[in-house]
Amino acid sequence: MHVVVMGCGRVGSAIARKLETIGHSVAVIDQNAEAFRRLGPEFNGRQVTGLGFDRQTLLDAGIDSAGAFAAVSSGDNSNIISARVARETFGVEHVVARIYDSKRAEVYERMGIPSVATVPWTVNRLMRELLSVKVTEIWREPTGTVLLMRVTVTEGWVGRPLRDLEHASGARAAWLVRFGEAQLPRSSTVLQAGDHLVVAATDEIATAVHDVVENAPEGGHH
């Protein structure tokens, strides 16, 4: 997959290097060409000097073929605008924005742009957001301990009761969206194709949630 990273600070450069290490093509955008030094001599991806929300700069970075976009500069406004352009103009599927103002972050969560405000986002969590199709962090309470994750029910979980997924992952379901309508599920609720869950978890079990959802058991109970 091709990934565009806007912002070549400590977080952006670390994400770019890690993505390239695991085999993705990467382009990094920063308005300060000196920032690219953080990438090191081993980095082979594109380095594009410019504003992350400028259409031509994004095209130079290959946004039209990107599967993911991370806006991790030091400016909220730049991150918000560039994330929206990536999502709304170029249709990038996985978009993550680093937002420091919690009130602004809430607005962009509702628009489907995962963001972070109250705690520093580690490179690993950003990587999960960019690369995971089925699980997305959507909110984190002020102490940073508990988070909500949006889960797309995968084929292997279809036909199984919710309690099985909760038990396997350690997460607790807050609500379920089925056919566009939210409902409070019971532990006995049988999961269906197209269901979306919002589950509460902690950082300690977040990885388990990803693993359990992505590596669902073979065949559901029908």
Q: Give the pLDDT mean for 70-83.
A: 90
- More confident site: 196 or 133: 196
pLDDT of 158-205, one tens digit each? 999 999 999 999 999 999 988 878 899 999 999 998 888 999 999 889
What percent of the chain clears pLDDT 90, i.e. is strictly above it?
56
Tell me what pLDDT residue 135 has: 83
Is it the case that residue 6 has pLDDT exceeding 70?
yes
Is it the case that residue 121 has pLDDT exceeding 60?
no
Mean confidence (pLDDT) of the chain: 87
**CA distance to 62, 72, 133, per residue, from 153 (Å):** 31, 29, 11
Backbone φ and ψ for 205, nearest 5 degrees, come out as -110, 5
Tell me what pLDDT residue 139 has: 83
CA distance 77 to 136: 22
What is the pLDDT confidence band of residue 122, given thresholds at 50, 70 and 90? low
pTM exceeding the 0.85 threshold for the entire prediction: no
What is the pLDDT confidence band of residue 218, given thresholds at 50, 70 and 90? low
Tell me what pLDDT residue 155 has: 87
Q: Give the pLDDT mean for 36-62.
A: 96
Tell me what pLDDT residue 119 has: 47
Is it the case that residue 91 has pLDDT exceeding 60?
yes
- Which residues pair with residue 70 across a beta bridge? 5, 96
CA distance 164 to 210: 15
Q: Give the pLDDT mean for 55-61.
A: 97
Lowest-confidence range among 77-81, 132-136, 156-160, 198-202? 132-136
**CA distance to 2, 55, 68, 177, per residue, from 44 (Å):** 13, 23, 18, 42
Tell me what pLDDT residue 118 has: 45
